[in-house]
C-alpha cells in the first residue's frame, strides 16, 4: 500500500502535520520524505515522528537541500525579508539550510543514517548534461 501525506496538498491521501502523524507506531516499511524538513520549524519533532512510524528494519530517503560545504546547519528566524531568506536559505519559506551535521541530527533521534554520493560514479560531462548536483549526498536512513 502507498499513503501520501501532506499538510496542504489537495492531492495527498492524508492531511497531517509531520510533527504529529495520525499513524500507529511501526506502520511503514519505507518512507520517502522529499524536501519537507527544511520547511518545518521543529525538524527534530518531525524526525522523531518519522522514526516512530517506521517499522523496525524499515528504511527511508529523507532528502533535503544541503550545503555540502557547510559543517553545521544554519537557522536564523530574525531574517524576515523574503528576498533575503531566499538568498540565504534558497527559498523564502525554508527555515534552515542543512549542513553535513544533518546525518548526526538523524542519528540523534534513533536512525542509522548515511549519505550516498550518487554522483561519484559519473564523469563530469554527464553530471553537467543531466543537471546533477556534484557531491550531493542522498540521505538513506534505517531503523533497527
pTM flag (> 0.85): yes
| Overall number of domains in the chain | 1
Angstrom distances, CA of residue 106 to CA of 2, 17, 46, 120: 24, 19, 10, 23
Range of 101's domain? Answer: 5-142
Q: Which sign, positive or negative, has the C-alpha torsion 128, 132, 133, 138?
A: negative
Q: Which CATH number characterizes residue 56's domain?
A: 3.40.50.150
> In terms of pLDDT, which residue wins out, 134 or 45?
45
**Mean model confidence pLDDT for the chain:** 96
pLDDT digits (tens, 9 = 90+) for 26-70: 999 999 999 999 999 999 999 999 999 999 999 999 999 999 899
C-beta atoms surrounding 49 within 10 Å: 18
C-alpha cell at 61: 530517503
Amino acid at each position: 500500500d502507498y499513503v501520501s501525506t501532506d499538510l496542504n496538498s489537495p492531492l495527498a491521501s492524508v492531511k497531517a502535520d509531520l510533527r504529529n502523524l495520525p499513524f500507529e507506531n511501526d506502520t511503514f516499511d519505507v518512507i520517502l520524505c522529499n524536501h519537507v524538513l527544511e520547511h518545518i520549524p521543529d525538524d527534530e519533532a518531525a524526525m522523531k515522528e518519522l522514526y516512530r512510524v517506521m517499522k523496525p528494519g524499515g528504511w527511508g530517503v529523507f532528502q533535503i537541500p544541503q550545503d555540502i560545504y557547510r559543517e553545521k546547519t544554519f537557522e536564523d528566524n530574525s531574517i524576515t525579508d523574503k528576498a533575503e531568506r531566499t538568498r540565504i536559505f534558497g527559498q523564502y519559506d525554508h527555515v534552515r539550510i542543512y549542513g553535513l551535521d544533518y546525518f548526526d541530527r538523524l542519528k540523534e533521534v534513533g536512525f542509522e543514517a548515511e549519505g550516498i554520493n550518487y554522483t561519484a560514479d559519473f564523469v563530469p560531462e554527464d553530471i553537467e548534461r543531466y543537471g546533477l548536483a556534484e557531491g550531493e549526498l542522498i540521505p538513506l536512513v534505517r531503523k533497527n
